[in-house]
Chain A
């Protein structure tokens, strides 16, 4: 038996098909992954992401610590509640994990890291925190529900009390706020508007049920993956890991190069890699022939090659798409080897879909 989130019984009752995900029994779908995907693009869907690891940093040196720990620059966060996406790098400039950090107060920042990397991350962060006298405290009592889609905000807001409602309604994109013992953020992993809501585990099942009654479709990890892929968002362990740098993972934009005086873990290695010019780059692929792109397929570019890191059928586009690490000078076309056959693909710039609409040319 794997770990169970506070919503395990709710998933069973709603007919979820459960699978093991990083040691957790998680819903893959509740009947149809495609319908769940479309619900998020067209209306509203909800995901149990309670398996993710929430870590609070406490201490007056928290900002100094994050300035050193993260590849992105924590000083971009000047307003309370603002969120930042960043890579956690090792000294070699390779990706230990990706995370979201929220600025709560100067002596309290909140990190959300991946569950599959929980132990490694906690050990790394704790070890690095010692020199800064910052306390690293996991928050396992928090459940997390992501509500996503064009109608996600409205449906969520309808369930909040007056005090919560006004604070949450006023949240800008990529901002969060503490509301009583909840933390609600206007963030997500689907390319749609919505919220990620952290709340005490004892309240999770009732809120999940209320969302369902408000017409929010329960969605499993299956649609979460196709939605994030369409949105051009990386998945740790698949699109990047400890063997690659953010510069060849489509994550160069998340590196806080400025100011040059900021010393962060991995900076030296990244500077050297940038100066030399990376030999690979990270692109999107649109399959032109019939078939389905998957991760780990060979991308043929003349006499050289690359590899798809994740791929799937895109329910929104009705076509197959992938993210791929390829030779840096790739042109507009390439081929992908699927079961011994070479199929034609077009090189595109992710995202593929945002706010329900195609972001790439399909012809």
Chain B
């Protein structure tokens, strides 16, 4: 059973979003997504200051099996990426909501976060897939 923390919002492409106190948002891929992908061996993240559209493919996670795109859950500007993943991509498998975060965005509009799925909605979504 995948973990779906109650304090996050979720996209239908399996990214999670956490709103930080400074108004930025941190994103990563869900526990369900990492389970589906299997052992990750490489993560390619966007450049700092890159402006992303919602649902834009902006990062790539590669498992032993295959490469998969990661989509920006909301529009914004990349302000930080998790550089530790270059040497430890397995953190995404081991701690997808913590040490395995992918990037931090300055959202174009923080209201966009509310349009994403709630934890209950996401739970239902992955069960229906």
Contacts and interface: CB of A to CB of B under 8 A. Distances in A.
Interface of A: 28-29, 32-34, 37, 222, 226, 290-292, 294, 312-313, 315, 320, 339
Contacts of B67: 292, 294
Given A312-B64, A339-B60, A33 B39 contact: yes
A34 B64 contact: yes
A315 B64 contact: yes
Q: Which 4 A-B pairs have the closest CB atoms?
A: A313-B41, A34-B39, A292-B62, A292-B42
Interface in B56-94: 60, 62-67, 86
Contact of A291 (B39, B44, B63, B65): B44
B64 A291 contact: no
Nearest to B42: A292
B98 interface: no
Interface in B20-70: 38-39, 41-42, 44, 60, 62-67
A287 to B, nearest CB: 10
Interface residues of B, number: 13
Contacts of A291: 42, 44, 62
Given A226-B64, A313-B62, A315-B64, A29 B42 contact: no
B88 to A, nearest CB: 12
A222 B65 contact: yes
B42 A33 contact: no
Contacts of B66: 294
A290 B42 contact: yes
A142 B62 CA distance: 37
A313 B42 contact: yes
Nearest to A29: B38
A32 B94 CA distance: 12
A33 B86 contact: no
12 contacts: A32-B38, A33-B63, A34-B41, A222-B65, A290-B42, A291-B62, A292-B62, A292-B67, A312-B64, A313-B62, A315-B64, A339-B60
Contacts of B62: 291-292, 313
Nearest to B43: A290
Given A33-B64, A34-B41, A339-B44, 19 more contacts: A28-B38, A29-B38, A32-B38, A32-B39, A33-B38, A33-B39, A33-B63, A34-B64, A222-B64, A222-B65, A226-B64, A290-B42, A290-B86, A291-B42, A292-B42, A294-B67, A313-B62, A315-B64, A320-B42
A310 B63 CA distance: 15
